[in-house]
């Protein structure tokens, strides 16, 4: 059928009366935009509608509040990204693709020294060069900024001191790149070199010249940026441990390795407003920082997020080069474009912290985890970045998914003269998680039980609280473990394979959106806001600040709107690039976008939906509760032939007010405890994952190759299974890089030695194992249609799974990552010496004969299985807190039931120092306690 | 720029006219005689679909087809390919009709952030010119020089396999859900058979 207007039953339009008279005043108008190749509405697809509202979609995890909004349109279906066509045709515009008329090129002068005081900068020679349009140095922007309001310690360009090789010193705008480079060479900087520090362990000592000075909060004269301590539970439980695993780990720093180098374009428009184009995950923070540094009000800045060529946390800080571009553009009055080369990407870093982590696990005679002690010393590099949060995450995100008898955490983040570490996919949780999961494997070995059964018998159930008070809602951990066990054929393989072949398990737990927006009180301003506008053409424009960094957030938002309004995806247009048009949003970090923005979008879409239904009520005479939205039509529930088209209802709804506009916001429920740091790690929901990895280890060379991975991730509800699987496989790839080959190598001189993609070894297609993604759906009660995060959590389990598989293959447990051949080989050699064999091939692989505990654990796991099922489906709504497994009554506060079960706030420095490196940070006093510098 | 050593830049090479056939279109631009193909394509010809990921031949984002052969444009002197037929990602589609490899990347999740996609499409297309029934090993080999940080390669391999199947004539090209085709004013489905006496 060709396009154009077709007569609808019950439609508007006057005409000729039966007696042949023309009806006055009723002219026919063509509905705008009608036409298209799909002129007939398709009937409801019951397979996309949940059981609870009469559809065919099974809901093993119970029903959900959003079920009644389901129309079977897109949710739960594999969908190409809405911007996929732009990406495959080369039309997606990334940072460096923004070319404004009259643009000039900016370049940055970087420090050649690790640590030095700047005595003077002479730019006169450079300024005199033809073609140089502007030069800026630190004195042009003396105000500090930083991603966290509590730790603003960065400048656009170094003021007073440079703190690492590659730190920004000055910048130049010139007519072309060659001239800009020449000019950089002509800037004369007089440095006074200072004693640099590269070893985070030495950061705990007093020095003459700490890298930053925090005034009265400074810890002694050390380089400790942040120290944290948390203790919960009952220490007496670990006195008679049946098994103990204590292991000191060393994790090298890793980088996000996104393919798009940073780039920025700044332009002060004709009205003197700043237009800043940048590939940012968190444009709003950049927006705030720009206003501070440039000293202009926020409303005079428009931050335009370009397409982002991969972020993974590495594009979530406000960056100094963004300030530089704006300053240069202001000085020379022309648009300035700064693009990094690959080396500069490493100088700005913000990758995962190099860490020293010590984990001690104690299990009692019943195979319960009686104690978990974590000590994490993390190397923050030269700036704070997200470090405040990272310091907490390294501990607190290890408090689930297992029920713990006690938990002790000491953490410290120190400054060193290296490029700053920051947030990276799996922020703060990855390294500790690896150490904990390998510890559990060790415990299982000592108790002679199967490690999966050990885990299954110690899981926190759905709708419970962790030891530190996190509120767990949906929890698909058990199903994830059971499904990878089944899928991988675990029982036939574990501890049964020949030398050199191994299989291992690892689990993960991660936040789905941080409960606390960093810059404001969550009770006074929402986490996320979405605006929807529908004008008479019927197209739906959605405004959101959610930053699509490739994970598909735009697609997810479009999908939920399309689902609620029963419109095909091509009628939904998401506008998310500009801060001028997008409501304030925190952007893409801590895996918050799907959870928070989609919730906000659903709320906005519900408003539109109500207006449409009311209009249809007017037209059809049926109450909205009896109307359903089907594909582009609103029909009477009991007789779908009675209905109006979407456009008719829309026009009716617009009669008095024109375009429909609605907004929705998301605010997290009140959460949290009172102890120090209680807010860190709070999230409205948590994701769970379990992986099994199979490896081949060459016993003679130590080369590890991961061959198969079964990856189960609980994402609540897969809005777009294709995207979820993409995230799982992608996470596997990134995690494999960290466990097998990636590391930032700082030589003895502290120089970064592999600032390029050749020596920084990201796995290529040949190193990739075959990954079987398994989606577990636990239907989170507060998630949009039940969804939780899928972007970061899936990275965690791959590291320990591979480590445990290496043990299964050759019987060694390396305790430093990455597991490069030399590391594994050295451990194999040690084992050879210890066992006195000649040839590595004579080594025996570990074997398991189940001990007496095995049956008990399996029985407990079975019992918990039915308990969890009932809780998940809210058939059992009794309270549950961590500690019930140890015999406490969940209806009474635990500290009433047992003395000694409490949060310990006042640390005893001596005992803390025994925990490990980070504990030793507590031996020092803060300046205010010492009476100095108040 | 890191380091104190101040090597004066070489005097800029004189500009010459560079001509080639880029995406079936003859172009003539003025570029330094020692220019690198990537720079010429992006800055002078304006093919911004060609991406710069590293400039060192390590990421594959900058791949283009030169007379049907995949080349890293960041490692190629423009002068060396003077007069050749160069295809960038923008030249794969015919007007609005995407090449099978492009549709398959979109539909099978072969592209997440999309920055590596132009390079992968070029490498894959070069393979598909040679054979429409590649083995998985051949596909892996074809894309081994391309780096992708988002997808973990598996969806990319699947996309290429699917595109090969399309080229062999198996199955029909999938239509991305964002292709415009919806009428906001549709008529209802067929009238249901109402039982006699049913009141509306
Ligand atoms: S830019 Fe050419 S290979 Fe990276
Ligand atoms: S899709 Fe992002 S790097 Fe490949």
Q: Examine the domain organization and report whether B152 and B106 are in the same domain.
A: yes
How far apart, in Å, are the Cα atoms of A176 and each of A703, A819, B16? 47, 44, 17
Does any CB of chain A come closer than 8 Å to the CB of residue B85?
A: no
Does A102 have pLDDT greater than 50? yes
Domain boundary among B91, B113, B138: B91
How far apart, in Å, are the Cα atoms of A31 and each of A5, A118, A535? 7, 69, 12
Ligand 2 geometric centre to CA of B117 (Å) = 7
Query: Is residue B74, in this structure, part of any structural domain at all?
Result: yes
Contact A256 B177 (CB under 8 A): no
| Angle at which helices A721-736 and B154-167 cross, to 10° | 130
Does A23 have pLDDT greater than 70? no
Residue A42: list chain B partners with CB under 8 A. 189
DSSP annotation of A741: I
Q: Which domain holds residue B157?
A: 100-167
DSSP string of A458-493, one letter each residue = TBPPSSEE-TT--EE----HHHHHHHHHHHHTHHHH
User: Predicted confidence band at A764 (pLDDT cuts at 50, 70, 90)?
Assistant: very high
CATH of A46-90+522-666, one of 3.90.1150.10, 3.30.365.10, 3.30.413.10, 3.40.50.720: 3.30.365.10
User: Predicted confidence band at A138 (pLDDT cuts at 50, 70, 90)?
Assistant: very high
Ligand 2 geometric centre to CA of A258 (Å) = 8
Q: Examine the domain organization and report whether B156 and B104 are in the same domain.
A: yes
**What's the confidence (pLDDT) of residue A65?**
93
Contact A97 B48 (CB under 8 A): yes
Contact (CB, 8 A) for B16 and B40? no
Does A530 have pLDDT greater than 50? yes
Contact B177 A80 (CB under 8 A): yes
DSSP string of A421-441, one letter each residue = P---SSTTTHHHHHHHHHHHH
SS (H, E, C) A76-126: CCCCCCCCHHHHHCCCCCCHHHCCCCCCEEEEEEECCCCCEEEEEEECHHH
Computed over every residue of chain A, the mean pLDDT equals 91
Q: Examine the domain organization and report whether B105 and B136 are in the same domain.
A: yes
Does any CB of chain A come closer than 8 Å to the CB of residue B88?
A: yes
Contact (CB, 8 A) for A739 and A800? no
Domain A46-90+522-666 and domain A451-515+682-843 have a common topology: yes
Backbone angles phi, psi at B154, to 5 degrees: -55, -50
**For the residues A707-727, what does the mean pLDDT come to?**
95
CA atoms within 13 A on the CB side of A419: 30
Query: Is residue B3, in this structure, part of any structural domain at all?
Result: no
Look up the CATH number of the domain holding residue B156.
Answer: 1.10.150.120
pLDDT tens for A193-239 read 999 999 999 999 999 999 999 888 899 899 999 999 988 888 777 88
Contact B194 A639 (CB under 8 A): yes
A329/A172 Cα distance (integer angstroms) = 10
Contact B152 A343 (CB under 8 A): no
Query: Is residue B2, in this structure, part of any structural domain at all?
Result: no
User: Predicted confidence band at B197 (pLDDT cuts at 50, 70, 90)?
Assistant: low
A398/A404 Cα distance (integer angstroms) = 10
A340/A95 Cα distance (integer angstroms) = 10
In a 3-state reduction of DSSP, which class is residue A304?
Answer: strand
In a 3-state reduction of DSSP, which class is residue B87?
Answer: strand
Q: Examine the domain organization and report whether B24 and B83 are in the same domain.
A: yes
**What's the confidence (pLDDT) of residue A30?**
65
**What's the confidence (pLDDT) of residue A3?**
35
Q: Which of B58, B71, B144, B147 to mutate to test the pocket of ligand 1 (most atoms within 8 A of CB)?
A: B58
Query: Is residue B129, in this structure, part of any structural domain at all?
Result: yes
A690/A387 Cα distance (integer angstroms) = 27
How far apart, in Å, are the Cα atoms of A774 and each of A486, A591, A737? 11, 19, 21
Instruction: Give the pair of three-digit tokens for residue A201.
Output: 């362990």
CA atoms within 13 A on the CB side of A359: 26
**What's the confidence (pLDDT) of residue A24?**
54
Contact (CB, 8 A) for A153 and A385? no
Q: Examine the domain organization and report whether B73 and B105 are in the same domain.
A: no
Ligand 1 geometric centre to CA of B42 (Å) = 13
DSSP string of A384-428, one letter each residue = -TTHHHHHHHHHHTTS-SB-BSEEEEEEEEE--SSSPP---SSTT
Is any ligand 1 atom within 6 A of the Cβ of residue B116? Answer: no
Which residue has the least CA distance to atom 3 on ligand 1? Answer: B57
**What's the confidence (pLDDT) of residue A886?**
86
Domain boundary among B42, B73, B91: B91
User: Predicted confidence band at A525 (pLDDT cuts at 50, 70, 90)?
Assistant: confident
**For the residues A509-523, what does the mean pLDDT come to?**
82
Question: A749 CA to chain B: closest CA distance, Å?
Answer: 15
How far from the centroid of its chain's Cα atoms is residue B118's Cα? Answer: 3
Q: How many CB atoms sit inside 10 A of residue B122's CB?
A: 29
Does B51 have pLDDT greater than 80? yes
β strands within chain B, DSSP E? 15-22, 25-32, 63-66, 69-72, 85-87, 182-187
How far apart, in Å, are the Cα atoms of A702 and each of A497, A698, A769, A810? 17, 5, 18, 9
Closest CA to A561 of A612, A610, A605: A605
Is any ligand 1 atom within 6 A of the Cβ of residue B57? Answer: yes
Overall size of chain A counted in residues = 934
Q: Examine the domain organization and report whether B28 and B67 are in the same domain.
A: yes
Q: Examine the domain organization and report whether B119 and B155 are in the same domain.
A: yes
Look up the CATH number of the domain holding residue B66.
Answer: 3.10.20.30
Ligand 2 geometric centre to CA of A707 (Å) = 22
pTM listed for this prediction: 0.93
A421/A147 Cα distance (integer angstroms) = 13
| Atom of ligand 2 lying closest to residue B113 CA | 2
Q: How many CB atoms sit inside 10 A of residue A746's CB?
A: 22
Computed over every residue of chain B, the mean pLDDT equals 88
User: Predicted confidence band at A418 (pLDDT cuts at 50, 70, 90)?
Assistant: very high
Backbone angles phi, psi at B182, to 5 degrees: -90, 135
**What's the confidence (pLDDT) of residue A531?**
96
pLDDT tens for A50-67 read 999 988 999 998 899 999
Backbone angles phi, psi at A826, to 5 degrees: -60, -40
**For the residues A627-651, what does the mean pLDDT come to?**
91
A292/A388 Cα distance (integer angstroms) = 21
What H or E segment, with its residue span, contains residue A164? none
In a 3-state reduction of DSSP, which class is residue A603?
Answer: helix
Domain residue ranges of chain A, discontinuous segments joined by +: 46-90+522-666, 451-515+682-843
User: ipTM, 2 decimals?
Assistant: 0.93
Domain boundary among B73, B91, B109: B91
**What's the confidence (pLDDT) of residue A379?**
95
pLDDT tens for B124-167 read 999 999 999 999 999 999 999 999 999 999 999 999 999 999 99
**What's the confidence (pLDDT) of residue B120?**
97
Q: Examine the domain organization and report whether B161 and B104 are in the same domain.
A: yes
Closest CA to A821 of A695, A731, A692, A693: A695
Does any CB of chain A come closer than 8 Å to the CB of residue B58?
A: yes
**What's the confidence (pLDDT) of residue A904?**
61
A453/A458 Cα distance (integer angstroms) = 9
Ligand 2 geometric centre to CA of B153 (Å) = 9
A145/A371 Cα distance (integer angstroms) = 40
Provide the CATH number for the domain formed by A451-515+682-843 in this structure.
Answer: 3.30.365.10
Does A398 have pLDDT greater than 70? yes
Does B191 have pLDDT greater than 80? no
A399/A626 Cα distance (integer angstroms) = 47
User: Predicted confidence band at B2 (pLDDT cuts at 50, 70, 90)?
Assistant: low
Does B200 have pLDDT greater than 50? no
Strand partners, A45: none
Q: Examine the domain organization and report whether B108 and B53 are in the same domain.
A: no
pLDDT tens for A722-740 read 999 999 999 999 999 999 9
Query: Is residue B122, in this structure, part of any structural domain at all?
Result: yes
- How many residue contacts between A and B have a Cβ separation below 8 Å? 298
**What's the confidence (pLDDT) of residue A7?**
42
Q: Examine the domain organization and report whether B73 and B126 are in the same domain.
A: no
Does A839 have pLDDT greater than 50? yes
Query: Which candidate from A43, A645, A765 shows the least CB-CB separation from B140?
Result: A765
Is any ligand 1 atom within 6 A of the Cβ of residue B60? Answer: yes
Is any ligand 1 atom within 6 A of the Cβ of residue B63? Answer: no
Is any ligand 1 atom within 6 A of the Cβ of residue B145? Answer: no
**What's the confidence (pLDDT) of residue B181?**
75
Rama region for A811: left / alpha / beta (φ>0; ψ in -120 to 50; rest): left
A109/A393 Cα distance (integer angstroms) = 34
pLDDT tens for A345-367 read 999 999 999 999 999 999 999 99
Domain count along chain B: 2
A868/A403 Cα distance (integer angstroms) = 14
Burial of A263-301, coded b for 16+ CB within 10 Å and e otherwise, reads bbbbbbeeeeebbbbbbbbbbbbbbbbbbbbbebeeeeb
β strands within A15-72, DSSP E? 38-40
Q: Which of B50, B53, B147, B148 to mutate to test the pocket of ligand 1 (most atoms within 8 A of CB)?
A: B53
Q: Any idea which of A3-12, A330-339, A505-514 has the lowest mean pLDDT?
A: A3-12
Residue A265: list chain B partners with CB under 8 A. none
Query: Is residue B193, in this structure, part of any structural domain at all?
Result: no
pLDDT tens for A256-278 read 999 999 999 999 999 999 999 99
């Amino acid at each position: 059928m060709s396009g154009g207007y077709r007569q609808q039953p019950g439609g508007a339009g006057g005409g000729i009366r039966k007696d042949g008279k023309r009806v006055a005043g009723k002219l026919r108008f063509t509905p705008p935009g009608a036409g298209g190749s799909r002129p007939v509405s398709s009937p409801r697809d019951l397979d996309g509608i949940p059981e609870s509202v009469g559809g065919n979609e099974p809901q093993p995890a119970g029903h959900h509040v959003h079920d009644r909004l389901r129309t079977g349109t897109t949710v739960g279906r594999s969908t190409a990204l809405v911007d996929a066509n732009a990406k495959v045709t080369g039309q997606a515009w990334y940072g460096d693709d923004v070319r404004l008329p009259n643009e000039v090129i900016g370049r940055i002068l970087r420090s050649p020294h690790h640590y030095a005081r700047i005595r003077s900068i002479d730019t006169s020679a450079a300024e005199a060069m033809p073609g140089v349009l502007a030069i800026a140095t630190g004195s042009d922007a003396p105000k500090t900024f930083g991603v966290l309001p509590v730790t603003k310690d960065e400048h656009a360009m170094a003021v007073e001191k440079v703190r690492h090789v590659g730190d920004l010193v000055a910048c130049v705008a010139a007519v072309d790149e060659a001239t800009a480079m020449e000019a950089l060479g002509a800037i004369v900087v007089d440095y006074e070199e200072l004693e640099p520090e590269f070893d985070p362990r030495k950061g705990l000592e007093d020095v003459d010249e700490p890298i930053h000075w925090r005034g009265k909060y400074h810890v002694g004269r050390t380089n400790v940026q942040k120290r944290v301590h948390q203790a919960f539970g009952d220490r007496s439980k670990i006195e008679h441990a049946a098994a103990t695993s204590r292991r000191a780990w060393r994790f090298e720093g890793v980088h996000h390795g996104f393919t798009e180098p940073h780039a920025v374009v700044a332009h002060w428009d004709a009205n003197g407003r700043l237009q800043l184009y940048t590939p940012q995950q968190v444009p709003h923070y950049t927006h705030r920082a720009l206003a501070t540094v440039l000293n202009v009000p926020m409303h005079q800045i428009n931050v335009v997020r370009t397409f982002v060529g991969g972020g993974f946390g590495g594009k979530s800080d406000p960056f100094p080069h963004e300030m530089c571009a704006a300053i240069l553009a202001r000085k020379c009055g022309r648009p300035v474009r700064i693009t990094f080369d690959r080396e500069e990407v490493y100088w700005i870093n913000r990758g995962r912290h190099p860490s020293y982590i010590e984990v001690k696990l104690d299990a009692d005679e019943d195979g319960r985890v009686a104690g978990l002690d974590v000590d994490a010393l993390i190397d923050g590099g030269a700036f704070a970045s997200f470090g405040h949060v990272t310091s907490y995450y390294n501990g607190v995100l290890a408090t689930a998914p297992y029920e713990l008898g006690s938990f002790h955490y000491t953490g410290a983040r120190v400054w060193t003269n290296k490029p700053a570490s920051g947030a990276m996919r799996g922020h703060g949780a990855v390294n500790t998680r690896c150490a904990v999961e390998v510890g559990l494997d060790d415990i299982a070995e000592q108790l002679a039980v199967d490690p999966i059964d050990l885990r299954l018998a110690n899981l926190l159930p759905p709708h419970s609280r962790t030891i530190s008070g996190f509120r767990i809602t949906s929890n698909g951990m058990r199903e994830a473990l059971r499904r990878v066990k089944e899928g991988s054929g675990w029982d036939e393989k574990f501890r049964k394979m020949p030398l050199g072949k191994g299989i291992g398990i690892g689990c993960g737990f991660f936040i789905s959106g941080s409960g606390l927006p960093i810059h404001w009180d969550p009770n006074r301003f929402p986490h996320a806001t979405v605006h929807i506008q529908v004008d008479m053409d019927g197209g739906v424009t959605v405004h959101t600040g959610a930053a699509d960094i490739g994970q598909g957030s735009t697609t997810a938002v479009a999908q939920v709107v399309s689902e609620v309004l029963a419109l095909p995806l091509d009628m939904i247009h998401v506008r998310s690039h500009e801060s001028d048009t997008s409501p304030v949003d925190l952007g893409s970090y801590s895996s918050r976008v799907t959870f928070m923005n989609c919730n906000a979008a659903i709320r906005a879409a519900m408003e539109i939906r109500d207006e449409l239904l009311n209009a249809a009520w007017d037209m059809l005479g049926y109450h909205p509760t009896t109307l359903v939205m089907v594909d582009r039509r609103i029909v009477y529930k009991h007789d779908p032939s009675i209905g109006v088209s979407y456009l008719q209802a829309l026009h009716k709804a617009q009669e008095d007010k024109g375009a429909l506009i609605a907004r929705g916001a998301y605010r997290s429920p009140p959460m949290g405890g009172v102890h120090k740091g209680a807010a860190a790690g709070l999230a409205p929901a948590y994701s769970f994952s379990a992986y099994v990895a199979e490896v081949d280890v060459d016993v003679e060379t130590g080369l590890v190759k991961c061959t198969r991975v079964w990856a189960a991730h609980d994402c609540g509800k897969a809005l777009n299974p294709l995207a979820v699987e993409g995230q799982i496989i992608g996470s596997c790839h990134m995690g494999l890089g960290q466990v097998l080959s990636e590391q930032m190598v700082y030589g003895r001189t502290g120089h970064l030695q592999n600032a390029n993609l050749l020596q920084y070894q990201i796995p290529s297609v040949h190193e990739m194992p075959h990954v079987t993604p398994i989606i577990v759906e636990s239907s989170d009660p507060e998630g949009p249609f039940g969804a939780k995060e899928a972007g970061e959590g899936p990275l965690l389990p791959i590291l320990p799974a591979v480590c445990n598989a290496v043990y299964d293959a050759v019987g060694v447990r390396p305790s430093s990552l990455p597991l490069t051949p030399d590391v594994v080989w050295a451990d194999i050699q040690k084992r050879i010496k210890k066992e006195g064999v000649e040839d590595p091939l004579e080594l025996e692989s570990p074997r398991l004969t189940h001990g007496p505990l095995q049956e008990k654990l399996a029985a407990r796991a079975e019992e918990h299985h039915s308990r969890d099922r009932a809780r998940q489906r809210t058939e059992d709504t009794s309270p549950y807190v961590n500690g019930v497994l140890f015999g406490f009554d969940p209806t009474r506060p635990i500290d009433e039931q047992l003395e000694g079960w409490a949060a310990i706030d006042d640390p005893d420095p001596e005992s803390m120092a025994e925990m490990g490196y980070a504990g030793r940070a507590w031996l020092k006093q803060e300046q205010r306690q010492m009476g100095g510098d108040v | 720029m890191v380091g104190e050593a101040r090597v004066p830049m070489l005097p800029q090479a004189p500009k010459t006219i560079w001509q080639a056939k880029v995406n079936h279109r003859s172009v003539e631009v003025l570029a330094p005689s020692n220019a690198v193909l990537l720079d010429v394509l992006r800055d002078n010809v304006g093919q911004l679909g060609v991406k710069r990921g590293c400039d060192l031949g390590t990421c594959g984002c900058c791949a283009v087809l030169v007379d049907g052969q995949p080349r890293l444009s960041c490692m190629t002197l423009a002068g060396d390919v003077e007069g050749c037929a160069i295809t960038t990602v923008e030249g794969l589609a015919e007007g609005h009709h995407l090449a099978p490899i492009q549709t398959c990347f979109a539909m099978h999740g072969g592209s997440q952030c999309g920055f590596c996609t132009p390079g992968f499409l070029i490498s894959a297309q070069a393979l598909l010119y040679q054979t429409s029934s590649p083995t998985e090993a051949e596909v892996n080999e074809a894309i081994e020089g391309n780096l992708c940080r988002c997808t973990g390669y598996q969806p990319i391999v699947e996309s290429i396999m699917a595109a090969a199947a399309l080229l062999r004539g198996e199955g029909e090209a999938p239509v991305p859900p964002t292709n415009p085709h919806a009428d906001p004013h549709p008529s209802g489905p067929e009238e249901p058979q109402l039982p006699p006496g049913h009141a509306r």
